[in-house]
Amino acid sequence: MWKPLEFEGMEKQMRNNFSRIRTKREMLLAKKVDHLEGKLEAEGLAWNGVGSMVLLLHGSNEVGIGPISDSWLSPVAVDLTRGLLDEGRFEAFELCDESSILETVLSRLIFQLLEQNPAVVRKAADWYQIESAMSHQEDNKLKGLCEALLKIIDVQEHHVFIILNRPELSKEDSPYDYLEIMLNLAKGTEKLKVMLVERAELWDVESDRRRVSARGN
């Protein structure tokens, strides 16, 4: 079974960051996580069913809990990632920080999916299309990376899961940019499930929701 060392390191870092929080507010967080898991179960048919979906986990920390880089929702994303890996699902994750760049994030997602299942691009035609999308869009690298990622998703036999943790921390791109890219990817395929984990104090999601609605997404 595919067990990326990078994920192991991310999981360890995440859980170390939250050890103090879990000790001081264990009961409070347990209630929150249980409530969230209940809501996710209510959406289970959509998350586990046919078609594509973009799920946004968006919430605030209790006052005094953790530095700005920590969110009580992040362990949920880690647990979900672990569960998907244990089930043998095709899954790509990214733990974003201040240095994250959208182009680099997309490249890393592509690499992870190809690393898990390189056999899907053994056909020369499929690999040529992916390579062309990534290398022949020098004037618009973002567009090329999205086309390549869509091609990789489409040639998979089963759904692909993408989990982005804390893209609002990026100083280069806005969380709306990440959300818009993921929504466009989901509209272009029937095989993609996306979860974005955001901290409400750092992103006015309602404002960007109006922008998304205005664009017809």
Per-residue pLDDT, 1: 45
Sign of CA dihedral 65, 71, 73, 78: negative
Q: Sort 136 into a burial class: Cβ within 10 Å, 0-12 / 13-18 / 19+.
A: exposed
| pLDDT tens across the length of the chain (217 residues) | 445 555 566 556 655 655 544 444 455 555 655 666 666 666 665 677 789 999 888 766 655 555 555 666 677 777 777 777 778 788 898 988 999 999 999 999 999 998 888 877 766 567 777 777 777 656 688 999 999 999 999 988 899 999 998 898 999 999 999 999 999 999 999 999 998 988 777 677 766 666 655 554 4
- pTM above threshold 0.85: no
Give yes or no for a contact between 11 and 82, defined as CB atoms under 8 angstroms apart: yes
Task: State the pLDDT at residue 42.
Answer: 65
How far CA 4 is from CA of 8, 9, 74, 134, in Å, comes to 7, 9, 18, 24
Cα 42 from Cα 53, distance rounded (Å) = 15
The order of strands in the sheet holding 192-199 is 53-59, 192-199, 160-165, 90-95
Distance, in Å, from the CA atom of 10 to the CA atom of 22, rounded to the nearest integer, reads 18
Give residue 21's pLDDT: 44
Rounded to an integer, what distance in angstroms lies between the CA atom of residue 62 and that of residue 35? 15
Encoded tokens for 29: 């967080």
